[in-house]
């Protein structure tokens, strides 16, 4: 079964857990490391003949347009991750409109392909932000991949959302982040911090369970998760663990994953 592989194109300082240590006004002063970390991931994908979907942050597209062009030239799908990495839960509808307008302008200046996919920063389409669906449709998006069908996380989650791709509203296809249900409890298995914190064998088991249930998984990763040389910032203990743990193992684990599962872009898995 073909699964979807997605990369959220942002740098180490864009992450939500960094917000108390690094303000957005200071992003321009931070070391930009996304080019090399992304190329390491693309080199690995090329060795395995795998296409992926890159959800591009507009702020990054403005700073390194040549990287976004390179991603497209290498055959990967380009999608949108917003402009400022602001959570939708912290935005008004007007602010989301402006953020998307700015993001799409920046990304479209880099690529020739149509932008049909969106992922909200920190998966922040929740029950209270479903108003965003209308705005996404009005901006031309065909699919979204922002819903995490879990109940335990403070920043994201729609607990009773379907585990398979579904229409979330006005024809917009939602490809929810992958989870497996055991005894009424949903266990995330779609990548990111879960991929770094879990034993690899657990990730393999859960993804195989997804496929055995007849549904494709969607896996996500960030370039900074493959960058052990990034600056270290003083963070609360739990945030520090979530951000830095096992980043030196990410590429090796990803390589192993690519040998055991079939992956392609979100667009191709959804046959759009």
Residue 235 belongs to domain with CATH number: 3.20.20.370
Q: Which domain holds residue 140?
A: 2-269
pTM exceeding the 0.95 threshold for the entire prediction: yes
**pLDDT 10s digits, 33-81:** 999 999 999 999 999 999 999 999 999 999 999 999 999 999 999 999 9
Half-sphere exposure of 159 (CA within 13 A, CB side): 6
* Structure-token pair, residue 80: 């949108």
- Give the CA distances from residue 45 to residues 7, 49, 219, 260, 263, in Å, rounded to whole numbers and listed in that order: 11, 6, 14, 13, 10
pLDDT number for residue 113: 97
**pLDDT 10s digits, 232-246:** 999 998 889 889 999
- Give me the helix-helix angle, 250-260 and 200-212, nearest 10°: 30
Nearest in space to 14 (alpha carbons), one of 4, 23, 1: 23
- Give the CA distances from residue 214 to residues 137, 142, 168, 206, in Å, rounded to whole numbers and listed in that order: 28, 23, 20, 13
| pLDDT tops 90 at residue 97 | yes
pLDDT number for residue 155: 83
pLDDT number for residue 153: 83
Over residues 94-108, the mean pLDDT reads 98
**pLDDT 10s digits, 136-195:** 999 999 999 999 999 988 789 999 999 999 999 999 999 999 999 999 999 999 899 999
pLDDT number for residue 152: 85
CB-CB contact of 222 with 7 (8 Å): yes
Give the rounded percent of residues in the chain with a pLDDT score beyond 90. Answer: 95
Number of domains in the chain: 1
| DSSP assignment of 250-265 | HHHHHHHHHHHSEEE-
d(CA 54, CA 228): 21
pLDDT number for residue 205: 98
CB-CB contact of 22 with 236 (8 Å): no
């Amino acid at each position: 079964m073909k699964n979807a592989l997605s990369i959220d194109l942002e740098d180490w300082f864009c992450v939500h857990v960094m917000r108390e240590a690094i303000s957005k006004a200071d992003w321009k002063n931070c070391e930009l490391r996304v080019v090399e970390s992304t190329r390491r991931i693309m080199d690995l994908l090329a060795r395995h003949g795998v296409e992926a979907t890159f959800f591009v942050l507009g702020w990054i597209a403005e700073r390194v347009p040549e990287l976004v062009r390179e991603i497209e030239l290498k055959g990967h799908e380009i999608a949108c991750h917003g402009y400022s990495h602001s959570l939708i839960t912290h935005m008004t509808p007007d602010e989301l409109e402006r953020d998307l307008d700015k993001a799409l302008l920046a990304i479209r200046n880099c690529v020739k392909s149509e932008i049909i996919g969106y992922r909200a920063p920190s998966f922040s389409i929740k029950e209270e932000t479903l108003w965003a669906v209308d705005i996404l449709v009005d901006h031309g998006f065909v699919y979204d991949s922002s819903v995490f069908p879990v109940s335990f996380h403070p920043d994201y989650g729609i607990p009773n959302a379907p585990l398979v791709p579904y229409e979330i509203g006005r024809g917009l296809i939602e490809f929810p982040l992958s989870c497996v249900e055991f005894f009424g409890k949903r266990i995330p298995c779609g990548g990111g911090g879960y991929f770094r914190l879990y034993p690899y064998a657990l990730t393999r088991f859960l993804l195989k369970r997804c496929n055995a249930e007849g549904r494709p998984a969607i896996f996500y990763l960030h370039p900074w998760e493959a960058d052990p040389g990034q600056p270290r910032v003083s963070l609360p203990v739990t945030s520090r663990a979530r951000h830095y743990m096992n980043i030196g193992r990410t590429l090796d684990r990803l390589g192993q994953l690519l040998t055991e599962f079939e992956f392609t872009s979100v667009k191709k898995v959804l046959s759009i």
